[in-house]
Amino acid sequence: MFTIKLRVNVSSTNKRNILQLHFNGLLCSNVYLTIVLTLFVQLFFLPLNASAQEKTDNEVILEIAPKLSDKNTRDGALVQLIATDAPMSLEWLRALLDGVLYLRKSDSLPVIVEKLGNSFKMVNASNGNNEGKAGRREVSKIKINNAIRGKLRAAIASISLKDDDPQVRLQAVKTMTRSLNDSDLAAISQTLPVETDKHVQQAMQLALNLADLSGSGDQIKIDAINAIGINTDDSVTQKLRDLASQPEAPEVANAASESLIAIEKRISLYEKIETLFFGLSLGSVLAMAAIGLAITFGVMGVINMAHGEMIMLGAYTTWAIQTVIPAFIEYSLFIAVPAAFLVAFLVGMLIEILVIRHLYGRPLETLLATFGISLILQQTVRTLISPQNVPVSNPAWMSGLWEIDPALSLAINRVVIFFFCLFIFFTLMWLLRYTNFGLKVRAVSQNRQMARALGAKSGSIDALTFGLGAGIAGVAGVALTQLSNVGPNMGQAYIVDSFMVVVFGGVGNLWGTLLAGLSLGVFNKLLEPWAGAVLAKIVVLVFIIMFIQKYPKGLFPQKGRAAGD
């Protein structure tokens, strides 16, 4: 709506003497009114404030804190907090943004908390003293909303332009670039000559060039367009699009549209790479879910409808581990992988010994029995744990984006899961090819009688192999917790896909499973943009049915005696 620029000199160290607030109609009217009123009150009492300098900044902050927790005084208090120049204020703003600024209920002391399971570790927010632990009900959080979050980010950005960490500076410049204003630009052009980090320099230069694009003078604009070159940042394309559609300055419009064409070409290239990545990532999830099945169904020939529930058991193991050791979320996955393998392995062995062993050679009965087992396992989890989903946290090292370009960034958890899938795959290959156990597994699956005659204990081999397949499904479950929900039904989502991948890849062939998973993933993602998610899924299914009609043994049929016919 309008912009108010307000100079508030509250301290001698003028790190940010210009306080700028944008109100663009985002706030609901009563809040808006409160702010305007607060601002007027502030303007009126400004001399008074200045004369009250003997109050230390920290004392001022302490007075502000309780006001932050009341919706009616919150916005005014925030303006004050941003204007205060106390060394702690930046930490306060960050804590507020991160939602860790609390008030101790007993004495309204503002504390910055760290969550430890059900209790909080408190640190005094004004002097950093340790205040011990508190239960959930002893502290109350200072709540904020989206409009305030936006303002906090802008305020933090303008303070952290001189931060020691180049990453923080880069983030600050990027936040500023989204909505450039004069004071930010002044600050940027002031700090650019002393900036040492290359990436931050580039970001700052881009911000200045962008400002030139909205400035005056055609030549300046054209120079700025040339200086920006091919940059896929959203703010650049938006600005260029505006310029290209302005008929009053044809030269600028020409330069802008030329540059835009080059940028769009680059973006469309990145989009293709992104689609490929999405496909490979979906493929790795499919392949991972299917590898366990490739063992039980592919190698042993058992139709295991409870395969999805093995994935679920692995996922619940991850949840259990995170619940038992809430302080070590970062390492929880490393513990969860072997633990989930073990749990699913044991359950798998148990199922084999109790049920499947008695049904070999009777595929229909195996199918029904394992389907029954899957229902029993689901309902057991529902009854013992809860019918609701359970929360599994992502460790910090698996969150976030790996930004290659503004138009191309890859999710780190998906990259990790892709390589984890390859790791499982090659470990399994090695196990089957180069170990004594693997030799026996292959022997039993190819010719049970002959293997037994040569001394392989087919009974224990069967149990171990089935356990292995189940264990690998459990490990897949650990990875899936990072992408999807963990609940009693989660296994159902993967069972059809898993069978699809195994059948498409060729029963009994691990390579086939991997390649089938990856190619189905890519195929699905190529279809999705123009067919929609629902149709893409149908098309993939139809494609597989047609493919199996033509090649009943899948992509990589087994040859020779192993084919079994």
Positions in the binding site for another protein (CB under 8 A): 24-28, 99, 141, 143, 145-146, 149-150, 153, 234, 237-238, 274-275, 278, 281-282, 285, 378-379, 382-383, 387-394, 399-401, 409, 411, 413-414, 483-490, 492-493, 524-525, 528-529, 532-534, 537
Between residues 389 and 446, which has the closer beta carbon with respect to another protein?
A: 389
Write the CA distances from 231 to 61, 84, 228, 253, integer angstroms.
42, 37, 6, 17
How far apart CA 545 and CA 557 sit, in angstroms, is 16
Cα torsion 43, 44, 49, 50: sign:
positive
Between 17 and 484, name the residue whose CB sits nearer to another protein.
484
**Shortest gap between Cβ of 314 and another protein (angstroms)?**
16
Instruction: For 206-247, give the DSSP string.
Output: HHHHHHHHTSS-HHHHHHHHHHH-S---HHHHHHHHHHHT-T
Query: Which CB sits closer to another protein, 32 or 360?
Result: 32
C-alpha distances (whole Å) from 34 to each of 40, 60, 71, 533 are 10, 20, 10, 46
Q: Are 169 and 160 in contact (CB under 8 A)?
A: yes
The rounded distance, in Å, linking the Cα atoms of 36 and 76 is: 9
| Minimum CB distance to another protein smaller for 80 or for 481 | 481
Please, which residue, 136 or 433, has the CB nearer to another protein? 136
* Token pair listed for 81: 């907090």
Q: Contact 334/325 with Cβ under 8 angstroms?
A: no
Closest distance of CB 5 from another protein, Å: 21
493/481 Cα distance (integer angstroms)? 13
Compute the least distance from the CB of residue 487 to another protein, in Å. 6
Residue closer to another protein (CB basis): 36 or 192: 36
239: exposed, middle or buried (Cβ count in 10 Å: 0-12, 13-18, 19+): buried
In the bound state with another protein, the residue whose beta carbon lies nearer, of 162 and 382, is 382
CB of 83 to another protein, least distance (A): 22
Checking 192-195 for CB contacts under 8 A at 24+ apart, the result is: 195/169
Helix (H, G, I), strand (E, B) or coil at 194: helix
**Residue 27 CB, nearest approach to another protein (Å):** 7
Q: State the minimum distance, in angstroms, from the CB of residue 56 to another protein.
A: 31
86 vs 315 by CB, closer to another protein? 315
Q: What is residue 136's DSSP assignment?
A: G
The enclosing H or E element of 114 equals strand 109-116
Cβ closer to another protein: 191 or 489? 489
Least Å distance, CB 411 to another protein, is 4
Residue in 442, 424, 434, 418 with CA at minimum distance from that of residue 561: 442
Q: H or E stretch including 401?
A: strand 401-405
In the complex, the smallest distance separating the C-beta of residue 404 from another protein, rounded to whole angstroms, is 14
Q: Let me know how many helices (H) and strands (E) the chain has, helices first.
A: 20, 9
Q: CB of residue 433 vs another protein: minimum separation in angstroms?
A: 32
Gap between the Cα atoms of 49 and 9, Å rounded: 10
The CB-of-383 to another protein minimum distance in angstroms stands at 8
Rounded CA-CA distance 234/391 in Å is 34
Nearer to another protein, 293 or 392 (CB): 392
DSSP string for residues in 478-508 = HHHTTTS-BSTTTTHHHHHHHHHHHHHH-TT
Residue number, 306 or 451, with CB nearest to another protein: 306
Q: For another protein, give the closer residue by CB, 105 or 141.
A: 141
* Stated length of the chain: 565
CB of 494 to another protein, least distance (A): 9
DSSP 404: E
Smallest gap from Cβ 20 to another protein, in A, equals 17
State the nearest-atom distance from the C-beta of 310 to another protein, in Å: 17
Sequence-distant (6+) residues with CB within 8 A of 143 are 69
Instruction: Tell me the angle at which helices 89-98 and 146-159 cross, rounded to the nearest 10 degrees.
Output: 140
